[in-house]
Structure 1
């Protein structure tokens, strides 16, 4: 089946369109809703009265819980001003189960002259069941700093602080959207909390990042947006040839120290590309350059120089 046929874009109000979806039909919700910070989203302005915004959030989250499977998960991006209220709705009102508070750290952001410039966004992860939920840790591990036989060389847990660059306006994948998020953020959440052919939903699809990641990782996807221009933007993005996700955790290119055994070193180099760079072919050359810097002289002695030609 063509990858585009596995993805559905819906133009409409998130709450009303969520009501049309069957209960317990979605394995994962990953979404970046409006933060109520007066952003310009074309045909809508992100500026509601406090009570109206909280009620808006409550209504879409009620529907989100309904459509999630019993082992489903929701990730919600949210700015600091309202995140505590979203947390309260999810836990105290809807009875969902808190799992993680993820901090997305970035090195560049809004500059302030009175007060401290913000350098992070937050992501809440809640599950419908406290223990029975999908989580594929092996799909999202990051390379170890050192090779040790006692380590899991498949990699380490990435932790709850994630460093990814902002979507700079010079990025070739930058869309005409005010709050576009890096694909690698969605890659990690979608790989961790869903399986191939699972249905993933983004009720505020915006520039289409969630559906682009679903497309490339073998998931089914539904994206909803009230702005028809964003729906068209998403469709165009899905038709763009894929050469790798537009961002990467810099740790994915890390080469462990102490890979001194030639056989272990060769197996690890081959596995690293499959484990950590599967959706980042444009990063393989950087990884191999790091391998060469760290182990090139040893690989010359062990006759492993052909690895640089093969990969």
Structure 2
């Protein structure tokens, strides 16, 4: 069993073998997308690559454990993942500030996060921890609840919650990172590697509980481990690039001192 709460420098497919079976509650997989010219992103078939990942992940998850697999809209096309995990949702991560690069087609303004579970029922789904603001006025919603077809129909248990609503499967409320983001620690990580902490936080709060073990097989600059540590989750993380491991370790250490790693101190 690999040591917990540290970032292991190495190849994920080699390190998977050292993770104990049925020990992980949540896997947050921001793996290569196969769409850039970066060496680490050159993949012959992203579909075959992701199916190999799913095969590796399945025995490591506890029953009811969750996998959140990041990618482009076609990253699971024409592969059969059903013998391994159950796909619960395709979450659209809307990024409207992307440059309008399309000249002969519509610009791609979203990525997809595929939410899988092992088995039929999630081990954890903490909706109260991830509520977002209601988009309708309370008075209007309460009037709707009093309509007879709602009050006595199949949606009779759907009530207005003053703490907020379910975030749904289109996430447009989390601002993507830019060169001006205080959270960004490396220009090299922008858009391809570093995700917003709020995005990872929503996943971790929803699909794990304090003390659970979270696996991050492509840790990059350590956002998932940082969020895990902040919220009392244990983690095992892998990253091939030693420079990124150093950045991630400093981010983790900064939580103990109360200092935030800002700006472009690292990378190019």
TM range (shorter): 0.7 to 0.9
Matched, 1:20 2:10: no
Aligned length: 233
- After superposition, the Cα gap between the structure-2 partners of 1:158 and 1:243, relative to the gap in structure 1 and judged at 3 Å, is farther
Give the distance between the partners of 1:131 and 1:74, measured in 2 at CA.
Answer: 13
Native 8 Å contact 1:197 1:220 kept in 2 = yes
> Aligned pair 1:137/2:127, yes or no?
yes
Aligned equivalents of 2:170, 2:212: Cα separation in 1: 26
Matching residue of 1:103: 92
Determine helix, strand or coil for the equivalent of 2:215.
strand
Hey, what's the Cα distance between the residues in 1 that align with 2:40 and 2:233? 31
2:170 paired residue among 137, 150, 161: 161
Asked whether the equivalents of residues 30 and 76 of structure 1 are also in contact (C-alpha less than 8 Å), the reply is yes
What 5-or-longer segments of structure 1 have no aligned partner?
Answer: 247-311
Measured in 2, the distance between the counterparts of 1:60 and 1:83 equals 11
Unaligned runs of at least 5 residues, structure 2: 143-158, 263-268
C-alpha RMSD of the superposition: 2.3
SS at match of 1:186: helix
Name the structure 2 match of 1:216: 230
2:43 to 28, 45, 48: 48
**Equivalents in 2 of 1:132, 1:238: separation in Å?**
29
State the partner residue of 2:195: 181
Greater fraction of residues in helix: 1
Q: Contact between 2:47 and 2:77, CA under 8 Å: does it hold in 1?
A: no
Return the index of the structure with the highest Cα Rg. 1
Residue 171 (structure 1) aligns with: 181
Q: Where does residue 82 of structure 1 map in the other structure?
A: 75
Match in the other structure for 2:138: 147
**Residue 89 of structure 1: CA displacement?**
4.0
Distance 2:201 2:162 in 1: 21
Distance (Å, rounded) in 2 between the aligned partners of 1:110 and 1:203: 29
Cα distance change of structure 1 residues 79 and 142 upon mapping to structure 2, 3 Å threshold? same
Q: What is the Cα deviation at residue 158 of structure 1?
A: 0.9
Counterpart selection for 1:123 from 78, 94, 113: 113
The answer to whether the aligner puts 1:204 opposite 2:197 as a matched pair is no
Structure 1 position 60, deviation (Å): 2.5
CA distances 1:141-170 after superposition (whole Å, capped 9, x unpaired): 113343357522222111110012221011
Question: CA 1:120 to 1:135, structure 2 compared with 1: closer, same or farther past 3 Å?
Answer: same
Q: 1:38 touches 1:45 (CA, 8 Å); kept in 2?
A: no
